[in-house]
Amino acid sequence: MSSIWTTLGLAPGADRTAIRRAYTERLKQTNPEDDAAGFQALREAYEQALRLADFAQYDQARDAHTPFQEAALEDAWVETRAPQPVFEAATSTPAAPQADEPPPPDHPAPPPTAVPATHERDDLGRARLRLEVLLHAEAPLPADLEAALDALFAAERRGLLSASHETEHWLADLLARTQPNSDPLLPAVLEHYGWERPDLGADIPYAAHWLVERRGATLWRSWVERTSDDSHKAWRLLTGRAKDTALWRILRGQDQVDRVAQVLGRVRDDYPSLEDDLDPDVVDTWERHIAWRRTGVGKLSRFGVLVARWLVIVACISLLKFGGGVAFGDSPADMRRRATLEGANSATWADLCRRGAQRSTSDLEQAVRDCDTALRSDAETLGVSESRGVANLRLGRHAEARADFDRALQANRDSVRARYGRGLAIWLGGDPSGAKDMAAAMAVSPGAADEFTRYGLRPPASERPRSDATHAPRQAPPPGYAAPQWVEGGDAISDAFPETALRAEVSGTVLLNCRVTVDGTATNCAVLEETPAGFGFGEAALQASSRFRFKPATYQGRPIEVAQLKIPIRFEVR
């Protein structure tokens, strides 16, 4: 027994906090690739020490005769991302217990062991080892990392709840130590454990706070690498992927230097973990250049830059003058002037309509007018009507948008974009039946919703199922009856979230009617209500129900064989 404490470097009888800290410190000194046996021994010592700590905690609670408290479940809601979802209480009277049933114990049974069964523990250990080895590799493939993470989650689900808690802390430490290799895994891990939920606070592992910041940093980096504004240019310069010779630094204007300084400041203030990904030599070069620009010599050099710019402008004007005619660019204003000068050019107006629907909100009114001009000039009806519908949706004109998409469907009844837009316009107008058109479009093309969600166009969150209006009034449970109490299965709901609904950012609700047996499983489940229909929420809830686990219902402290339970489940996109 003393060997486990020696392995961890602790005195016998340490509590869970001390065990975790010691394990973290030892883990930093152990390389799974070089010493797989040592890593396995360390992990087994850690798990066994946690188990002993759990038993010690139980003995203290038993000696103190702490009464068992059952949580009230009446009218509770299941949230797809909650770490411990709670279900609604039973709505019908359960069968009375048999006369020969033994009386209930004075105290609750001991807590389950913190270590799963042998084969489950081995599966979890192998899954951990594989993921850790991959994350320490030179350049692991994202597909291999995702497969290893899926295997870890599967092994975790087969284990006990205490093993899941332990794995959560272990995984947080591992991901924090293996950046940036672990970046591709952050979305799935944060979703699995719900670390981004603001109500959890100090209940999440310490390293998880850093991982949440890192996830925000990777999202911002992804955005700045795709955007077309000045931040993208500044980021490319800061990461060394754009041309940055001494001549270019001299000719570059102060505004561009300021943008690089702003991006660098944003990284240091909001996303400090990103600076570790930058080349320190490039950052140092830019810091010196920014400092030089702010000196007297640097300010004096700006005059030379202005002179060079004016010379370029004069040269361009001369070329235009001697080349003859007036040149227009590709901006919407230039295109509009060109179309007006050249007469009714349907293709130009159609292009203006399409571009305008994708621009900022302030340009949408002009986009609608351009679409009207395109329709009057006999432009192709389908694309123009669809773009006009998108613009009207973004302006909140749901009835006009529906008319636009109806016109587009008259031109081509198979248009997925028009079908989805019509359904969304109907739903946003207050009629949830529009979900049928949306689901039909996504059945043909799962990416039908992408354009609309990019502009924040998504259905409102579904309301709670109105079970009291469609089912018999619930009867009050008899005195002494306690409803089934949820134990585990919340992750199953998140895992079963329909891909079609997730991509369209559609939330939904389902009301299940299940039988909870004395062994705590939910059986014979049926869907009573599903809103909206067509996105697979009912099927997903049934799939997840097989993994629900409850404490059985009791009558006067004794477990009963079967209890009927109505379970409202909410699938919510956040």
Closest by CA position to 46, among listed 25, 77, 70:
25
Q: CA-CA distance, 184 to 140, in Å (whole number)?
A: 10
E-only strand ranges, 333-436 = none
What local confidence, expressed as pLDDT, does residue 399 receive? 92
What local confidence, expressed as pLDDT, does residue 71 receive? 33
| Residue 123 CB contacts under 8 Å (≥ 6 apart), including other chains | 155, 158
Strand order across the beta sheet in which 554-555 lies:
481-482, 554-555, 558-559
- Contact, 249 vs 221, CB < 8 A? no
Using DSSP, state whether 503 is helix, strand or coil.
helix
Closest by CA position to 453, among listed 506, 493, 526, 531:
506
Q: Record the tokens describing residue 330, joined without a space.
A: 């590709």
Domains 78-85+463-571 and 332-454 share a fold: no
Q: Record the tokens describing residue 263, joined without a space.
A: 């991006």
Q: Record the tokens describing residue 573, joined without a space.
A: 């996109």
What local confidence, expressed as pLDDT, does residue 335 receive? 55
Helices (H) and strands (E) in the chain, counts: 25, 9
CATH 3.20.20.370 fits 78-85+463-571, yes or no: no
Using DSSP, state whether 462 is helix, strand or coil.
coil
Cα dihedral: 203, 204, 206, 208 (round 10): -160
459 cis-preceded (ω within 30 degrees of 0): no
- Contact, 184 vs 142, CB < 8 A? yes
What local confidence, expressed as pLDDT, does residue 542 receive? 92
What local confidence, expressed as pLDDT, does residue 574 receive? 63
- How many Cβ atoms are within 10 Å of 84's Cβ, its own excluded? 13
End-to-end CA distance of the chain: 47
For 525, list phi and psi in degrees, rounded to 5. Answer: -75, 145
**Within 13 Å and on the Cβ side, how many CA atoms surround 74?**
8
Using DSSP, state whether 457 is helix, strand or coil.
coil
- Contact, 462 vs 534, CB < 8 A? no
Q: Between β-strands 558-559 and 481-482, what pairing exists: parallel, antiparallel or unpaired?
A: unpaired
Domain ranges of the chain: 2-67+111-218, 78-85+463-571, 228-297, 332-454
Enter the DSSP assignment of 521: B
Three-state SS letters, 156-203: HHHCCHHHHHHHHHHHHHHHHHCCCCCHHHHHHHHHHHCCCCCCCHHH
Q: What is the pLDDT along the chain (574 residues), one digit of tens a residue?
A: 557 888 888 888 888 778 877 877 777 677 666 777 787 788 788 778 877 776 665 455 444 433 333 333 333 334 333 333 333 333 333 333 333 434 444 333 333 333 334 444 567 778 888 888 888 877 778 888 888 888 888 887 776 555 677 788 888 888 888 878 888 888 888 888 887 766 655 567 767 777 887 888 778 877 777 766 677 777 777 776 544 555 555 555 566 777 788 888 887 777 777 777 777 777 777 777 777 666 544 444 555 555 555 565 655 555 544 443 333 344 555 555 555 544 446 677 777 787 777 776 767 888 888 888 888 776 677 888 888 899 888 888 999 999 999 998 988 888 888 999 999 899 888 888 888 888 888 877 777 787 787 777 877 665 444 444 344 445 556 677 788 887 887 778 888 888 878 777 788 889 998 999 888 899 999 999 888 888 888 999 999 988 888 888 888 778 888 888 888 888 877 6
The vertex-387 CA angle with 383 and 393, nearest 5°, equals: 145
Q: CA-CA distance, 552 to 559, in Å (whole number)?
A: 6
Closest by CA position to 481, among listed 388, 379, 571, 564:
564
What local confidence, expressed as pLDDT, does residue 339 receive? 52
Closest by CA position to 179, among listed 278, 273, 283:
273
CATH fold label, 332-454: 1.25.40
Q: CA-CA distance, 21 to 25, in Å (whole number)?
A: 6
Q: CA-CA distance, 490 to 317, in Å (whole number)?
A: 67
Q: Between β-strands 522-531 and 549-551, what pairing exists: parallel, antiparallel or unpaired?
A: unpaired
